[in-house]
Structure 1
Amino acid sequence: MAGIVQDWEPVVLRKKAPTSAARKDEKAVNAARRVGAEIETVRKAAAGTNKAAKSTVTLNTRKLDEETENLAHEKVPSELKRAIMQGRMQKKLTQAQLGQMINEKPQVIQEYESGKAIPNQQIIAKLERALGVKLRGKK
Structure 2
Amino acid sequence: MYSVINMDGLAPADRFSFWWEAVARSVVPVHASSEDVLGFWAEMTAVDLGRVQIFRVRCLSFEARRTPRLIRRADPGLLQLSLTLLWLTGHPRGTGGEPARTTALPRHDLTAAHGGCAFGGGAASESGELSGVPAGPPA
Greater strand percent: which structure? 2
TM-score, normalised to structure 1, is 0.19
Greater helix percent: which structure? 1
TM-score, normalised to structure 2, is 0.19
Higher Cα radius of gyration: 1
